[in-house]
Amino acid sequence: MAVLRILRYIFGYVHFRAYGGFAERFINLCAKDKIPIWDVKYFDGGITAYTMAAAEKTISSAAEKSGMIFEPIEKKGVPYFIKRYRFRFGVAIGLFLTLIFSIILSSMIWYVKVEGNEELTEEEIITELEALGLKPGVFKKGIDVKELQMTMLYKLDELSWISVNINGSTAIVEVRERNKAPEIIDRGQPSNIVAGHDGQIIKLEVYQGDGMVEEGSAVVKGDLLISGVETLKDGKVLFHRARGSAIARTERNIVSITNNGFPAKKRTSQKLKYSVYFFGIIIPLAPSVEADEWYKTNHMLMSDQTIIPVGIIRERFTSYSSGTLKLTNEQLRLVTILDFYKDQKEKLANVKEMKSSKFGIESKSDSCKLTANYILIEEIGVEKFFEVEDNRKNSNN
Amino acid sequence: MAKSRKKGKDKQPKTSLMTKLATELEVPSEILPGVFRIELQETREATVDGCKGILEYKDERIKLKLSNKTVTFAGLNLELKTFTNERVIISGYIAGIDFSE
């Protein structure tokens, strides 16, 4: 029924009144002449009904033949709308421009969406795509998808596969990144494993080479733990890359000193600049400003999940002056503790177990010192490569 | 007596030839010419196929000409929804339907 109503509106219809004659004859004549009438209602002396706009003339003659007076009450639909506004050129031009505008906009790319990237950032991919001509505001017809895909694979070595799908006004770029080849361990250069810290060896595991210390023995930094040099029974010497693990009980101290008076930047000025973004065209509303820091945010129109490339670009220009910042004792302590924890995390990364720890903090007006003493169980083995001179070549020469 | 019984038999309504044909051929009767069909939707709407014309049109009575009969719909606020291709749709409150030759 809704479809019928829409069709009737498109083709136009007339609500009319017919009176003064023979209503039955009028209805019969309409049926005979195939004039569509509907919603026929009786009133004393006549009828009211609807007919199509195209049948208005023929229905008048049917009314005349049946002795009735035909009188339109209301005319509705597109033909009457057009007739009513036929001299309003502004409306016609507006409609025409809207149509043209819609056709042009629907043939453009509005939004580029990147999917499937892991290591590569979306910005990196979009920057490359923009350089190759795929960006909001370009015409869909001007994009050679195959060429673009090939060039992207050539330009971004990290990509193993790319697919550009243009769906409506959105370009969906699906990518797959290349699996990195595992790092090849160079087994050619011989090495020893030496102690990285002073300590007492608790466990020594030798995978390749000769173990040089016993479990329970004390070592100092630089002592040879696993040797890559192997002497055979016949006196020949073989050089290996030593591999193994040396777990030791160690004592470590970490000291963190923070002096008061930090180099700091003070904000001297901040200016905002707005620009209008319209399908890749940027119209600045103010001149650019020289500044130490520049920050840009885009505020684009959104419809559902689609970004429409029309919006406002907001740029913030900030200038700073250099200075020194003095902290209060509490602030200084806090900064020292934060620095200390950062240091501790880095230095004790290989620790297996922390047996005990002692902390001490010393605050002065111009500095703060935090000391820590640890008893640890940790891996102390550090690989140290060495060069081997080939005497055979020298003797041959 | 026997004569009067015979007369009583004659008074039974005759089935039209087309209806008989439709029954024998097992086809819908409305596709054959001269056969009318009335479909009621409760007492709110009646669809009449095979209407040859309108004999009377008022909001409490609509009389239609069928092939060999006339049908009168009586009721309240009766109106003609459509009249195309021998099909008439009557809506309103239908209180009664009466057939006559």
Question: B80 and A34: CB-CB below 8 Å?
Answer: no
Instruction: Name A351's bridge partners.
Output: A378
Whether residue A40 and residue B80 make contact (CB cut-off 8 A), yes or no, is yes
Residue of B nearest to A29 (CA): B53
Q: Which of A24, A34, A38 sits opposite B55 (nearest CB)?
A: A24
pLDDT in tens, A193-216: 999 889 999 999 988 888 888 888
pLDDT digits (tens, 9 = 90+) for A19-35: 988 888 999 999 888 88
Distance CA A261, CA A326 (A): 5
Contacts of A24 in chain B (CB under 8 A): 53-57
Task: For the beta carbon of residue A177, count every other beta carbon within 10 angstroms.
Answer: 15
Residue indicated by tokens 């590569």: A120
Per-residue confidence (pLDDT) for residue A250, from 0 to 100: 92
Using CA atoms, how far residue A356 sits from A40, A55, A252, A347, in Å, is 100, 102, 11, 16
Ordered domains of chain A (ranges, CATH): 2-83 (3.30.70.1800), 111-177 (3.10.20.310), 193-247 (no CATH), 256-260+326-383 (no CATH), 262-325 (no CATH)
Q: Does A31 touch chain B (CB under 8 A)?
A: yes
> What does the angle CA A211 – CA A215 – CA A217 come to, to the nearest 5 degrees?
100
Does the ipTM surpass 0.90? no
Q: How far is CA A177 from CA A121, A156, A171, A209, A232, in A?
A: 11, 10, 19, 40, 49
Which residue from A27, A34, A36 is facing B80, i.e. has the nearest CB?
A: A27
**Given pLDDT bands bounded at 50, 70 and 90, which one contains residue A111?**
confident
Binned at pLDDT 50, 70 and 90, residue B8 comes out as very low
Class at the top of the CATH hierarchy for domain B36-101: mainly beta
Query: How far is the alpha carbon of B72 from chain A, nearest alpha carbon, in Å?
Result: 14
Query: Do B83 and A31 lie within an 8 Å CB cutoff?
Result: yes
Q: Does A11 touch chain B (CB under 8 A)?
A: no
* Among the ranges given (A96-100, A205-209, B74-78), the one the predictor scored with the smallest mean pLDDT: A205-209
Q: What are phi and psi of A87, to 5 degrees?
A: -95, 0
- Rounded to the nearest 10°, the torsion over CA B7, B12, B13, B14 is -70
Distant-in-sequence contacts of A91-96, Cβ < 8 A, 24+ apart: none
pTM: predicted TM-score of the whole model, two decimal places: 0.43
Residue in B with minimal Cα distance to A34: B84
Q: Which residues of A touch B45 (CB under 8 A)?
A: none
**For chain B, which residues make up each domain, given as ranges?**
36-101
Mean pLDDT of A174-194: 80
